[in-house]
């Protein structure tokens, strides 16, 4: 084999190894926070006798009810342990949204704190640091559509690879360009320092910032990890708390139109601005606080009526 032929093969092998290594690192990073919460909650639930040893073991990753050890198994474990907290009665520690775990989840969502990401260093240059930001409903919807479009492009690439290269070369190149462009839009949106998008989703720019064109596949994985931690994990935790608050295993989220209409009425901010310019996680957390305040006011009113009647 000629040296010129061996070099691309070594480069491809190196990139595959880098991607494997980075995926493993991302999985560990993603697990760290949720895993620590699970360990903490397990000890608390055992100490307060809010769940049996068997129940806790069943929901632990690789347990009877939670088969597997992926990051999402840890997320499920955390969600189920949060639900077990709902068993606390009025004589015990603070209940539901007033529990320590609930307060941490709500404060984390309200903070809108971005997740910093250090990209790979290019040559002798210092590594670039960007951040993944909590995004708005409109932004998350846009990113979901990009994700589905990239999945479709990947399917087309697989089909084209099955054809003779003489027939598929041009199409493969077009698919590669479009995939790269879509990843560029996603990266731009995720790292834009605001809940909204840096462009009009109905009139997309044909070029992305120069620094995005230079990022590696490993950087894309790191940015995706940051996006998950800044958005999906926070939303998942809040959703688990909502199920506890309603004390319903079959809790159903209200339609987004109803949710934002209520938020708009409470905050006196137009619905379109809430959907575009406020992070969804902070909106859900705000709604939970408002609902808790209304619940307390109603209980106080009832107690006052009882005292007057007596």
pLDDT for 146 beyond 50: yes
Q: How high is the pLDDT of residue 26?
A: 53
* Cα–Cα distance for residue pair 232/83, rounded to 1 Å: 18
Q: CB-based burial of residue 188 (10 Å sphere; 0-12 exposed, 13-18 middle, 19+ buried)? A: middle
Q: Across-strand partners of 131?
A: 116
Give the residue-averaged pLDDT of 84-95: 56
Q: What band does 120 get if pLDDT is binned at 50, 70 and 90?
A: confident
* Cα–Cα distance for residue pair 90/296, rounded to 1 Å: 14
Q: How high is the pLDDT of residue 189?
A: 96
Q: What band does 47 get if pLDDT is binned at 50, 70 and 90?
A: confident
- The token duo for 286 is 């705000």
- The token duo for 240 is 């688990």
Q: What band does 101 get if pLDDT is binned at 50, 70 and 90?
A: low
For the beta carbon of residue 208, count every other beta carbon within 10 angstroms. 21
Q: How high is the pLDDT of residue 66?
A: 86
pLDDT tens digits for range 177-212: 999 899 999 999 999 999 999 999 999 998 999 889
pLDDT for 15 beyond 60: no
> For residues 68 and 2, which has the higher predicted lDDT (pLDDT)?
68
- The token duo for 165 is 């290269």
> Going by DSSP bridges, is the β-strand pair 115-118/129-132 parallel, antiparallel, or unpaired?
antiparallel
Q: What band does 306 get if pLDDT is binned at 50, 70 and 90?
A: confident
According to the per-residue pLDDT averaged within each range, which of 11-25, 141-155, 251-265 is highest?
A: 141-155
Judged by average pLDDT, the poorest of 46-60, 113-127, 147-161, 273-287 is 113-127
Give the residue-averaged pLDDT of 8-35: 54
- The token duo for 215 is 């990022």
Q: How high is the pLDDT of residue 174?
A: 92
Q: How high is the pLDDT of residue 91?
A: 39
Q: How far is CA 68 from the centre of its chain?
A: 20
Tokens 């597997």: give the residue. 68
Backbone dihedral angles phi then psi of residue 136, each to the nearest 5 degrees = -80, 175
Q: How high is the pLDDT of residue 205?
A: 94
Give the residue-averaged pLDDT of 142-163: 90
SS3 173: helix
pLDDT for 305 beyond 60: yes
Kindly write down the DSSP assignment for every residue of 189-258, as one continuous string: HHHSSSSS-SS-TTS--S---HHHHT--HHHHHHHHHHHIIIIIHHHHHHHHHHHHHHT-TT--PPPHHH
Residues 6+ apart with CB under 8 A from 236: 75, 79
Residues 6+ apart with CB under 8 A from 305: none
Q: How high is the pLDDT of residue 7?
A: 41
* Cα–Cα distance for residue pair 216/195, rounded to 1 Å: 25
Residues 6+ apart with CB under 8 A from 267: 274, 286
**Are the CB atoms for 77 and 61 separated by under 8 Å?**
yes
Backbone dihedral angles phi then psi of residue 257, each to the nearest 5 degrees = -60, -40
Q: What band does 25 get if pLDDT is binned at 50, 70 and 90?
A: low
């Amino acid at each position: 084999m000629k040296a010129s032929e061996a070099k691309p093969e070594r480069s491809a092998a190196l990139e595959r190894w880098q991607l494997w290594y980075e995926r493993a690192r991302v999985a560990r990073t993603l697990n760290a926070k949720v895993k620590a919460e699970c360990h903490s909650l397990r000890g608390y639930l055992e100490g307060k006798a809010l769940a049996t040893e068997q129940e806790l073991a069943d929901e632990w990753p690789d347990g009877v009810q939670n088969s597997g050890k992926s990051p999402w198994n840890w997320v499920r474990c955390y969600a189920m342990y949060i639900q077990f907290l709902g068993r606390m009665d009025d004589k015990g520690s603070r209940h539901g949204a007033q529990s320590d775990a609930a307060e941490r989840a709500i404060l984390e969502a309200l903070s809108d704190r971005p997740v910093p990401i250090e990209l790979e260093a290019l040559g002798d240059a210092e590594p670039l640091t960007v951040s993944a930001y909590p995004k708005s409903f409109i932004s998350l919807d846009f990113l979901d559509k990009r994700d589905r479009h990239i999945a479709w492009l990947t399917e087309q690439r697989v089909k084209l690879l099955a054809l003779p290269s003489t027939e598929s070369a041009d199409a493969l190149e077009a698919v590669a360009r479009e995939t790269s462009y879509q990843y560029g839009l996603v990266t731009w949106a995720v790292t834009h320092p605001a809940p909204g998008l840096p462009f009009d989703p109905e009139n997309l720019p044909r070029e992305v910032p120069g620094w995005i064109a230079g990022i590696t596949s490993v950087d894309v994985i790191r940015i995706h990890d940051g996006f998950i931690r800044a958005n999906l994990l926070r939303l998942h935790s809040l959703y688990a708390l909502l199920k506890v608050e309603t004390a319903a295993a079959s809790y159903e989220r209200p339609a987004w139109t109803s949710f934002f209409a209520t938020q708009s009425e409470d905050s006196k901010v137009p619905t379109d601005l809430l959907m575009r310019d406020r992070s969804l996680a902070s909106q859900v957390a705000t709604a939970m606080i408002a609902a808790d305040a209304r619940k307390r006011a109603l209980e106080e009113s009832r107690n006052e009526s009882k005292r007057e009647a007596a």
